[in-house]
Amino acid sequence: MSDTFTFDQSGSLSQEQLSLLGDVPALGYDPNRGAEKIYDEIVTGNGHLRAHWQSLLARLTPLDSKEMAERVEESTRLLRQNDVTYTIYGDPQNSERLWPLDVMPLLIPADEWRTISAGVVQRARLLNALLQDIYGPRRMVTEGLLPAPLIEANAGFLRPCHDVLPQGGTYLHLYAVDLGRGADGQWSVLADRTETPSGAGYALENRSVIGRVLSDCMDDARIEPLTPFFNTLRDGLAALAPANQSGRSAPRIVLLTPGPYNETYFEHLYLAGHLGITLVQGADLTVRDRRVYIKTVSALEPVDIILRRVDDKFCDPLELYRDSALGVAGLIEAVRAGTVTVANALGSGAVQANAFKPFLPALSRALLGEALTLPDVPTWWCGGKSEQSHVLANLDRLVVRPAFSASSILRAPVLETSLAEQDKIAARIAASPSDFVGQTRVALSNAPVWENGRLEPRPVSLRVYVAAGPNGFVVMPGGLTRTSRAAGAHIVSMQSGGGSKDTWVLDDAVSRGRALGQRQSQSQSSDSNVVAMPEAAVRQMSPGALPSRVADSLYWAGRYAERTAAAVRLLRTIISSLTDPARGWDLRDAEPLLNLAAYQRLLPWIEPAEYTVPQVVALVQKALTDPQHPDGIRALLKRLVGTAGSVRDRLPPDCWHALTTLGRASHFSGYRASAVQVLLRLNELVTLSTSLAGAIEESMPRNDSWRFLEAGKRLERAIHLVAVLRGTSGVRRGKDDKITFVSEARQLQAIAALIGVSVPLGPTGLERKSVLEAILINGNDPRTLIYQLVSLNAHLASLPHVAMRDGATVSVVALAAQRVGEAMAMVPQGVAVAARGAQNLKKQSERLDQENNSIRAAFSILDNVLPDISNLLSRAYFTHAFARRA
Amino acid sequence: MRDVTFESQISEQMNANVSAAQVQDDAPPVNQPMRYRIRHKTTCTYTDEIQHAQHTLHLNPRVLPRQTFTRNVITVDPPPARLVEHVDYFGNPITYLALETAHRKLLVQVDFEVEVAPSPDGDLASTPAWETIRDAIKAPGDMAAKDANIYAFASTMIPPLPGLAEYAAPSFTPGRPIGEAAFDLVERIHAEFVFDSVATTIATPLVEVLTNRRGVCQDFAQFAIGCLRGLGLSARYVSGYLRTVPPPGQKRLVGADATHAWLSVWCGGDLWLDFDPTNGTRGSTDMVTLAWGRDYDDVSPMRGVLIGGGSQDLTVEVDVEPLPATP
pLDDT mean over B158-187: 95
Tell which wins on pLDDT, A188 or A82: A188
Q: B46 and B28: one domain?
A: yes
Residues of chain A with pLDDT > 70, as a percent, come to 76
User: Which pLDDT belongs to residue A95?
Assistant: 61
State residue A11's pLDDT score.
Answer: 41
Q: Is the pLDDT of residue A88 over 70?
A: no
The stretch A311-329 carries a mean pLDDT of: 90
Residue A819 Cα, gap to closest chain B Cα (Å): 21
Torsion of CA A520, A526, A529, A535, to 10 degrees: 20
Local structure of residue A49 (DSSP, 8 states):
B
Model confidence at B246: pLDDT above 70? yes
CA–CA distance, A634 with B37 (Å, rounded to integer): 67
CB atoms within 10 A of CB A366: 18
Q: What H or E segment, with its residue span, contains residue A582?
A: none
Domain span holding position B23: 10-115+300-323
ipTM (interface predicted TM): 0.89
Interface probe, candidates A133, A161, A318, A321, chain B, greatest B C-beta count within 10 A: A318
CB atoms within 10 A of CB B313: 12
Give the separation between CA B143 and CA B162, rounded to whole angstroms.
Answer: 30
Please, what is the Cα angle at A421 between A416 and A425, to 5 degrees? Answer: 85
| Widest distance between CA atoms in chain A | 105
**Which residues, 6 or more positions from A819, have their beta carbon under 8 angstroms from its beta carbon?**
A865, A868, A869, A872
How far is the C-alpha of A857 from the C-alpha of A469, rounded, in Å? 67
Using a CB-CB distance cutoff of 8 angstroms, which residues of chain A are in contact with residue B99?
none
The residue of chain B with its CA nearest to that of A153 is B153
Same domain, B229 and B137: yes
SS3 of residue B53 by DSSP: strand
Distance from CA of A879 to the nearest CA of B (A): 8
For residues A838-860, one letter each, b for 16 or more C-beta atoms within 10 angstroms of the residue's C-beta and e for the rest, the string is beeeeeeeebbbbbbebbeebbe
Q: Decide: B110 and A318 in contact? Cβ < 8 Å.
A: no
pLDDT band at A96 (very low <50, low <70, confident <90, very high): low
With 90 as the cut, is the pLDDT of residue A824 above it?
no
State the SS3 of A705-726.
Answer: HHHHHHHHHHHHHHHHHHHHHH
Same domain for B169 and B316, yes or no, is: no
Q: How confident is the model at residue A5 (pLDDT cuts 50, 70, 90)?
A: very low
The verdict on B158 and B203 lying in the same domain is: yes
Question: Could you report the per-residue pLDDT of A221-234, keeping only the tens digit for each?
Answer: 578 889 899 999 99
Assign A204 to helix, strand or coil: helix
Please report, in angstroms and rounded to a whole number, the separation of the first and last CA atoms in chain B: 66
Query: Residue A827: which pLDDT band, with cuts at 50, 70 and 90?
Result: low
Say whether pLDDT at B97 is over 90: yes
Per-residue pLDDT of A151-204, as tens digits, reads: 999 999 999 999 999 988 999 999 999 999 998 999 999 999 999 999 999 999
Can you tell me the mean pLDDT for A26-33? 70
User: Per the domain annotation, does B168 fall within a domain?
Assistant: yes
User: In this structure, are B199 and B279 located in the same domain?
Assistant: yes
Residues of A in contact with B4 (CB under 8 A): 325, 882, 885
Q: What is the pLDDT of residues A553-599, one digit of tens each?
A: 899 999 999 999 999 999 999 998 888 887 777 888 888 888 889 88
Residues B128 and B64 in one domain: no
pLDDT recorded at residue A409: 29
**Which of A306-310, A340-344, A546-550 is least confident?**
A546-550
Q: Do B307 and A884 lie within an 8 Å CB cutoff?
A: yes
B205 versus A864: the higher-pLDDT residue is B205
Q: For residues A816 and B5, which has the higher predicted lDDT (pLDDT)? A: A816
Flag if A884 and B7 touch (Cβ within 8 Å).
no
Phi/psi of residue A153, each to 5°? -100, 5
**Which DSSP string do the residues of A783-802 spell out, in sequence order?**
TSHHHHHHHHHHHHHHSPP-
What residues contact A702, with CB distance under 8 A and at least 6 apart?
Answer: none
For residues A863 and A441, the model is more confident at A441
pTM for this structure? 0.81
Q: Which amino acid is at A686?
A: V
Which tens digit of pLDDT belongs to each residue from A109-141?
999 999 999 999 999 999 999 999 999 999 999
The alpha-helical segments, DSSP class H, found in A82-148 are 110-134, 139-142
Look at A197 and A84; give whichever has higher pLDDT: A197
Alpha-carbon distance of B289 to B299, in angstroms, equals 12
A415 contact partners, CB below 8 Å, separation of at least 6: A399, A400, A401, A421, A425
| Together in a domain, B37 and B101 | yes
B235 or A727, greater pLDDT: B235
| CATH code at position B20 | 2.60.40.2250
Of A619, A864, A598, A575, the closest CA to residue A733 belongs to A598
CB within 8 Å of chain B, chain A residues 254-313: 282-283, 286-290
B185 and B82 fall within a common domain:
no
Residue A821, helix vs strand vs coil: helix
Q: Look at B5 and A153 and tell me if their CB atoms are within 8 Å.
A: no
Confidence of residue B50 (pLDDT cuts 50, 70, 90): confident
pLDDT at A685: 92
The pLDDT of residue B10 is 36
Q: Report pLDDT for B128.
A: 95
Which of A69-73, A495-499, A517-521 is least confident? A517-521
Q: What is the residue type of A741? A: F
Q: Is the pLDDT of residue A259 over 60?
A: yes
What SS3 state is found at A591? Answer: helix
Q: How many CB pairs under 8 A join A and B?
A: 120
- pLDDT of the residue at A830: 60
Find chain A residues with C-beta within 8 A of B51's C-beta.
880
Specify whether B109 is located in the same domain as B31.
Answer: yes
Residue B204 confidence (pLDDT): 84
For residue A137, the number of C-alpha atoms closer than 13 Å in the C-beta half-sphere is 6
- The 10s digit of each residue's pLDDT in A352-366 is 999 999 999 999 999
Task: Give per-residue pLDDT as tens, A784-809.
Answer: 888 888 888 888 888 876 654 444 44
Percent of chain B with pLDDT over 70: 87
CB distance B305–A317 less than 8 Å? yes
* Nearest residue in B to A428, CA atom: B162
Same domain flag for B138 and B15: no
Task: Say if CB A215 and CB A103 are below 8 A apart.
Answer: no
Q: For A382-404, write each residue's pLDDT tens digit.
A: 999 899 999 999 988 888 888 98
pLDDT, mean over chain A: 79
Alpha-carbon separation of residue A245 from A239, A345, A790 (angstroms): 13, 19, 43
Q: In degrees, to the nearest 5, what angle opens at C-alpha A669 toward C-alphas A665 and A671?
A: 115
Q: Which of A249-263, A458-472, A519-533, A535-549 has the highest mean pLDDT?
A: A458-472
Least confident of A71-75, A221-225, B58-62, B104-108: A221-225
Least confident residue range of A571-585, A754-768, B249-263: A754-768
Whether the Cβ atoms of residue A680 and residue A665 lie closer than 8 Å to each other: no
Interface test with A, best of B51, B54, B298 (most A CBs within 10 A): B54
pLDDT for A147 beyond 90: yes
CB of A329 less than 8 A from some CB of B: yes
Smallest CA–CA distance, residue A203 to chain B, in Å, is 33
Instruction: Give the pLDDT score at B157.
Output: 92
Residue B315 lies in a domain: yes
Note which residues in 141-160 of chain A have CB less than 8 A from chain B.
141-142, 147-149, 151-153, 159-160
Q: Are A462 and A179 in contact (CB under 8 A)?
A: yes
- Binned at pLDDT 50, 70 and 90, residue A4 comes out as very low
CATH code for the domain of B267: 3.10.620.30
Please indicate, yes or no, whether residues B30 and B54 belong to a single structural domain of this protein. Answer: yes
For B140, the closest of A148, A330, A885 (CB atoms) is A148
pLDDT of residue A767: 66
- Regarding predicted confidence, which is higher, A739 or A710? A710
Contact predicate B95/B303, CB 8 Å? no
Categorize the per-residue pLDDT at A412 as very low, low, confident or very high, splitting at 50, 70 and 90: very low
Q: How many domains does chain B have?
A: 2
**Which of A286, A288, A883 lies nearest to residue B7, judging by beta carbons?**
A883
Note whether B143 contacts A322, CB cutoff 8 Å.
no
pLDDT over 50 (residue A439): yes
Domain boundaries defined on chain A: 2-105+469-528, 108-201+230-440, 548-881
User: What is the arithmetic mean of pLDDT over A305-317?
Assistant: 94
Q: How far is B152 from chain A (nearest CA, A)?
A: 8
> Using CA atoms, how far apart are residues A190 and A542, in angstroms rounded to an integer?
34
Rounded Cα–Cα distance for residues A267 and A305 (Å)? 19
Q: Please report residues of B whose CB lies closer than 8 A to that of A879.
A: 3
| Contact call for residues B240 and B147 (beta carbons, < 8 A) | no
Q: What residues of B are in contact with residue A636 (Cβ under 8 Å)? A: none
User: Does residue A82 surpass a pLDDT of 50?
Assistant: yes
- Give how far Cα A311 sits from Cα of A153, A270, A645, Å: 19, 19, 21
Question: Is a pLDDT exceeding 60 seen at residue B22?
Answer: no
Interatomic CA distance for residues A820 and A826, integer angstroms = 10
Do residues B141 and B280 share a domain?
A: yes
**Contacts B7 to A, Cβ<8 Å:** 317-318, 322-325, 329, 883
pLDDT tens column, A833-852? 555 544 544 455 565 555 56
